[in-house]
Structure 1
Amino acid sequence: MEPNKKEPVDAIKLVKSLIDVIQASFATAWKAVLILGGVILVAYCYFESIVPEGLSLGDAFFLASAAFSFTCIAVIGVSFGVFAALWALKLLVLANDFRLKRRGQPPGSSLHPAVDNRSTVFMSFLVALPLAYLLIFVRDQAPDARMHETLMFFAAVGAITAILLLIVPATAQRSNHRLTVSVLAMAVFSILVATRPAILNLAMANLGVRSAPGQVVIFSDAEHTQLAAIAAASGMKVQFCKLPTTDKWGTRDARAVWHGVGGSSYVRLFDETNGSRNVLVRANRADVEILRGDRTGFSCAPTLAAAPAGKSS
């Protein structure tokens, strides 16, 4: 046997090793998804003060969907914030370099070459304009939407992420990845506590577990009677409207915060005169429906709005 001759590669062993790696990766990813989905479920239930009932093994798919939806919203939102902050970072780098130049020193830093071009910076400025408009002038119409706080979270986290990852020092330095990740994690947690964004609400609304602001929640006649009595006892004004030719009632003053998964539904009633006042009620899943769709017309007739107690409130 010649000393420099390489032994032939066993193709079958190579394929088997690749298959083992892929299977191990999928098994690890599935466990990570279930863990993340469980954490999201626990966090959502904690913030909404609900206790799901009747969950089955088949709801593992729901946990995976919750994790996927939450991750997509977070990644898209933060990426939007990063891109919107590029133009401001460019100005910051130019101002710092100008200051160093006046002192006779070399430039201190620059943007990452992948984003340091005029067209990207200009597009970043154009993207930042509607974001600034929404943050300054637009306010939430629904009491639990928290879209303003959510946009603030994306903008702040995006700016901090861009500062930590896209500003490159002029002199080569050994990067400390653990320190960068630690600083970013602490910043994200601090901003999360300060703004309390509605990412969980958005994820659950995408899955159909939560009704979105503006959607009509429909109740059976028996469930409506109970909810109207609870609203009256709580001193809240909630307007229910009887649907024509049916024995069901609908309202926009309620949010289904847990519906379609498990054995029970949870509904939060909002005072139409003061959205900050609300009460959480557990309801029979079969007695609650959500009217989904865009531009659905739904209005209460004046006579129904003034109906006797027990039928409207």
Structure 2
Amino acid sequence: MEPNKKEPVDAIKVIKSLIDVIQASFSTAWKAVLLLGGLILVAYCYFESIVPEGLSLGDAFFLASAAFSFTCIALIGVGFGAFSTLWALKLLVVANNFRLKRRGEPPAASLHRAVDSGSMVFMSFLVALPLAYLLVFVRDQSPDARMHATFMFFAAVGAITAIIVLIVPSKVQQRDIRLTVVFLAVAISGALVATRPAPLNLSMVNLGVRSAPGQDVIFSDAEHTQLAAIATASGVKVQFCKLPTTDKWGTRDARAVWHGVGGSSYIRLFDETNGSRDVLVRANRADVEVIRGDRTGFDCPPKVAASPDGKSS
């Protein structure tokens, strides 16, 4: 009786199986990206109190871009915060092990071997210096940017993540993944409530949906009349400036919180004397324009008198 021989591998079947796996992976990943993008869109609209109009099936690319932008900002921010605390974790581990050594006990923990080197710790200290400067001395220049709170959030979550991931106990023990995930979720939720960061705003600024602080928002003459009337009725003082040789008006006391996607735009008008006071207005997308880039601003006079036709700034 002849010994069993291995059947020859069918290369075509292997390639087809591989293609099926790749297609299924891409299909799952695409659905996950759209789901995350939809959640980000819903969260942003909820916090801004807006209802987008005129979204189409083609806006799936926008949802994917929102998910990608938000994920990149979160990963970079948390990674930056975790790396900046590496030197502090090294000091903590060394001090704790030294205390145990004096008591005649073995070391309790060490840093992960991937980052446990003098050069990495020194680079971490250098990275922590500008972050400490931003947290201590820099304050927000606009009411909605909240960069200081965002830096605090990334620093806190990064430090918590570094403690969980980079500190390795000397005794090998099985870590409860579910307990770790729950602890991390609670810690992130607490940091969100305590700092109130603005990663959603940063993501929408990157996508061009939201105007950045300092950018000029331009309105048509008809839209300016409506916005000026709403600002006056709401008691919000906004300074509009007439663009020379045009019939358009501009201001830096406004933020386009939703523009370029859908059929309508949403404008938030900030009080120039008290940035915490604002009013949200829906505007015609065609009558709103955001001027992006450097040195594109225009100078507003200190006071603009009423024009002959009754319009004022």
What is the TM-score with the length of structure 2 in the denominator? Answer: 0.97
State whether residues 220 and 248 of structure 2, in contact with CA within 8 Å, keep that contact through their aligned partners in structure 1.
yes
Q: Percent identity?
A: 82
Is 1:125 matched up with 2:119? no
CA shift, 1:235, in A, is 1.4
Q: Which residue of 2 aligns with 1:277?
A: 277
Separation in 2, partners of 1:109, 1:195: 31
Post-superposition offset of 1:73: 0.5
Q: What residue is the counterpart of 2:78 in the other structure?
A: 78
In the alignment, is the contact (CA less than 8 A) between 1:97 and 1:109 conserved in 2?
yes
1:116 paired with 2:116, answer: yes
The equivalent of 1:227 in structure 2 is 227
Looking at structure 2, the residues matched to 301 and 131 of structure 1 have their Cα atoms a distance apart, in angstroms, of 37
Query: How big is the alpha-carbon RMSD for the aligned residues of Structure 1 and Structure 2?
Result: 1.4
Structure 1, unmatched stretches of 5+, are none
Q: Distance in 1 between matches of 2:310 and 2:261?
A: 29
Unpaired runs of 5+ residues, structure 2, are: none
Q: Secondary structure, in 3 states, of the residue corresponding to 1:275?
A: coil
1: CA distance, partners of 2:167 / 2:72: 25
* Equivalent position of 2:172 in the other structure: 172
User: Which shifted more, 163-172 or 290-299?
Assistant: 290-299
More displaced 10-residue stretch of structure 1: 200-209 or 187-196: 187-196
Residue 61 of structure 1: aligned partner: 61
- Aligned residue in 2 for 1:36: 36
Which one-letter code corresponds to 1:167 in the other structure?
Answer: I
Q: Is the 8 A contact 1:258 1:267 kept in 2?
A: yes
Deviation at 1:310, TM superposition (A): 5.4
TM-score normalised by length of structure 1: 0.97
| Alpha-carbon distance in 2 for matches of 1:253, 1:310 | 21
Q: Does 1:143 align with 2:149?
A: no
Contact 1:215 1:290 (8 Å CA) reproduced: yes
1:178 Cα deviation (Å)? 2.1
Give the paired residue count. Answer: 312
User: Displacement, 1:166?
Assistant: 0.6
Matched, 1:306 2:309: no
| Residue 2 of structure 1, CA deviation | 4.8
Distance of 1:144 and 1:189 partners within structure 2: 20
Q: Distance in 1 between matches of 2:8 and 2:306?
A: 87
Instruction: Tell me the residue number matched to 1:22.
Output: 22
8 Å contact 1:218–1:249 — kept in the other structure? yes
**d(CA) in 2 for partners of 1:138 and 1:71?**
25
1:262 pairs with 2:262 = yes
CA distance in 1, matches of 2:288, 2:82: 41
The answer on 1:252 being equivalent to 2:252 is: yes
Gap change, CA 1:225 and 1:170, over 3 Å in 2: same
Residues 209 and 259 of structure 2 are in contact (CA less than 8 Å); yes or no, is this contact kept in structure 1?
Answer: yes
